[in-house]
């Protein structure tokens, strides 16, 4: 199918890539990043960590297996997506497949993008675009459809986590298999009372959480209390703390860092994932910095410190922990084999651990799901 070249990607340095629109007829701006993953676009596009970003996919053929159903589980969580909507600002690809085929597909990628009002352009030289980002670093850009211009937008300069975090606490009860939105202190007191003789309870700080993190906690018989990023969660009775993935600069999450610091002082077991790794580091007193072009794919190799063991991981982040600034009672846990950046930290004697990748996968290899098991074991051994 031939479409007119009515779309273009304009980078902040003035470079222009021309292409054709196949999704929403809407001009947008954001940070231009790339992912080297070959599959998994339904999960990636619904990952809140991509909020504010224009995503370039390096794999040349996109859309050939369509989009799955929006079926939900007993908790109301979509089974096939990582949140309730698409979070990327826009999509840039090389070749769009107008014909799709998959046993679980319910619609085309173009239909799904249009439903979510997300622009997508194809027939772009994504290889050249990726090389440019690798050489010059991630940069701002804008997709312009039919010459309808917009201003550049930097998602790292705003409190973007506020836009993706849940607005009110939600409890996921692994015993009754139901979820409840929490509104009042009376309900909180009731939950605290009911939880005393139940399964272990964890606070999940939602700074842009993926659904599969929630699934992995629930299936390990944990009661999960999901709270907004700036919520005072110490009003609950709980056994451990999980800090989720999410978008943007971790230093913008000042209230989250403050609350995590309080949890460290109380020696509550902590497990951080992706952005959660950076937030734990900042709460511990370390520093973070922006990577040149980040890590986004399902094929990132991470080596466990002190060993030769390497895990292939799923990642989506643009910032990293500066291990040189870690306090003396903290240490690196994993290192990226490609660029030697940090992929996890831990406290030397206390139950605080975090990783920079996504052990919950979706998409990607499931090799490191054992980290959830180790965290649960920490909760069981808590005195």
N-term to C-term CA, the chain: 65
CA pair distance 344, 352, nearest whole angstrom: 11
CA pair distance 352, 378, nearest whole angstrom: 10
Among the options 317, 347, 358, 361, which is catalytic? 358
Among the options 31, 43, 82, 360, which is catalytic? 360
Among the options 43, 274, 317, 347, which is catalytic? 274
Shortest CA distance to 317 belongs to which of 351, 347, 342? 342
Q: The dihedral of CA 87, 93, 98, 101: what is its sign?
A: negative
Q: Which helix (H) or strand (E) holds 279?
A: helix 275-284
Is-catalytic flag, 358?
Answer: yes
Is-catalytic flag, 274?
Answer: yes
Is-catalytic flag, 310?
Answer: no
Backbone φ and ψ for 25, nearest 5 degrees, come out as -85, 75
- Strands 105-107 and 67-68, by their bridges, are antiparallel
Tokens 């003789």 — which residue?
197
CA pair distance 187, 143, nearest whole angstrom: 46
Q: What is the DSSP string of 288-329?
A: EEEEEEEEEEEEEEEEETTS--EEEEEEEEEEEEEGGGS-TT
CA pair distance 252, 98, nearest whole angstrom: 40
CA pair distance 50, 247, nearest whole angstrom: 6
Just list the catalytic residues: 274, 358, 360
């Amino acid at each position: 199918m031939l479409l007119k070249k009515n779309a273009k990607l304009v980078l902040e340095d003035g470079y222009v890539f021309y292409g054709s629109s196949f999704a929403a007829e809407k001009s947008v701006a954001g940070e231009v990043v790339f992912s080297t993953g070959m599959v998994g676009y339904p999960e990636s596009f619904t990952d809140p960590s991509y909020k504010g970003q224009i995503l370039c996919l390096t794999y040349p053929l996109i859309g050939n297996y369509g989009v799955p159903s929006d079926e939900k589980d007993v908790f109301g969580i979509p089974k096939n997506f990582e949140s309730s909507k698409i979070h990327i600002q826009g999509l840039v690809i090389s070749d769009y497949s107008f014909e799709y085929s998959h046993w679980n597909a319910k619609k085309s990628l173009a239909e799904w993008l249009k439903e979510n009002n997300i622009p997508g352009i194809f027939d772009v030289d994504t290889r050249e675009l990726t090389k440019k980002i690798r050489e010059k670093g991630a940069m701002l850009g804008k997709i312009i459809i039919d010459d309808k211009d917009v201003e550049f937008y930097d998602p790292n300069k705003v409190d973007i986590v506020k836009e993706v975090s849940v607005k009110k606490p939600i409890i996921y009860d692994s015993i009754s298999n139901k979820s409840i939105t929490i509104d009042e202190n009376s309900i909180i007191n009731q939950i605290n009372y009911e939880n005393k003789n139940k399964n272990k309870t964890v606070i999940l700080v939602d700074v842009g959480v993926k659904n599969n993190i929630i699934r992995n906690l629930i299936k390990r018989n944990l009661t999960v209390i999901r709270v907004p990023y700036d919520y005072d969660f110490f009003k609950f009775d709980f056994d451990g703390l999980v800090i989720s993935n999410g978008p943007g600069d971790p230093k913008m999450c000042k209230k989250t860092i403050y609350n995590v610091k309080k949890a460290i002082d109380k020696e509550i077991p902590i497990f951080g994932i992706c952005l959660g790794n950076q937030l734990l580091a900042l709460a511990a007193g370390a520093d973070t910095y922006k990577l040149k072009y980040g890590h986004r794919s399902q094929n990132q190799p991470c080596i466990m410190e002190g060993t030769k063991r390497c895990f292939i991981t799923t990642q989506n982040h643009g910032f990293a922990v500066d291990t040189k600034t870690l306090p003396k009672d903290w240490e690196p846990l994993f290192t990226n084999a490609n660029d030697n950046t940090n992929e996890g930290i831990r406290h030397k004697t206390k139950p605080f651990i975090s990783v920079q990748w996504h052990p919950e996968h979706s998409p990607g290899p499931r090799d490191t799901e054992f980290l959830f098991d180790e965290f649960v074991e920490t909760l069981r051994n808590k005195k």
